[in-house]
Homo-oligomer: A and B are copies of this chain.
Amino acid sequence: MRTAFNARLATIDDQVLAMARHVRTAMHAATKALLETDLHLAESVITDDADLDNRAHEVEESVYRLLAQQQPVAQDLRFLLAALHNASALERMGDLVMHIAKTARMRYPMAVVPTELRGIIVDMGTVASQMVANTAVALARQDLTTARSLRDMDREMDRLHRELFIIVLSPAWEYGVQAAVDITLLSRYFERFADHAVTIGDRVVHVATGASTEPVVPRQVNGPVNPR
């Protein structure tokens, strides 16, 4: 009985991990589509998001059935509630990635990102990809060091977010209102993506230790939304 139960927990673990891998691939592709003005790649990111939504729904169903049929307590219960949270966070991260791809598609064949800002957007994409890769490592190995590293990476994302706003709002900005609006939203998507990754890291710590230094309800962490 216990073995069957453990097998079902492991399946849920695999489902969440597969979602993290999906989001990692999608973030890499969306940033590439944005920076290389690649319509085909943008379209594929947008189309594939439906798979992620379905996966999140499957995790929720699996958790619900397991809670209803078994009486998990302590760490197993924490694990299942964390899986519920993490699937929801990853589904939302996928939405944000899709919005990045939609921005690329909306302006095609024009580039969204002015040359001057490409470096920062490249960095944001790199940090975002690393963060979701780290959530996958933290989830797969219950690796608390990696889980906790996400807060440091989020601080780096917040720094990039602020740097971008300083440039957009400087008197020297020469790309007009539409580019400013596009960059504002893009920057917000990356920043929110990072916030969600942090909440997954926090849950990994919570499942392993039963402790949380922060309320474990998803929330904005560190990130001033109006960083100006």
Q: Which residues of A contact B (CB under 8 A)?
A: 53-54, 56-57, 60, 64, 67-68, 71, 73-74, 77-78, 81, 84, 87-88, 91-92, 95, 99, 102-103, 106, 165, 168-169, 173, 176-178, 180-181, 184-185, 188, 215-220, 224-226, 228
> Given known contacts A181-B169, A226-B185, is B219 in contact with A95 (CB within 8 Å)?
yes
Is the CB–CB distance between A226 and B53 below 8 Å?
no
Is the CB–CB distance between A54 and B185 below 8 Å?
no
User: What's the Cα separation between A81 and B62 when bound, in Å?
Assistant: 13
**Chain B CB within 10 Å — which of A60, A106, A173, A215 has the most?**
A215
Considering the complex, give the chain B residue whose CB is closest to the CB of A178. Answer: B169
19 additional A-B pairs beyond A106-B228, A184-B184, beta carbons within 8 Å, are: A53-B217, A56-B217, A57-B217, A67-B77, A67-B81, A81-B84, A88-B217, A91-B217, A91-B218, A92-B219, A99-B225, A99-B226, A102-B226, A103-B226, A165-B181, A168-B177, A168-B181, A177-B180, A185-B225
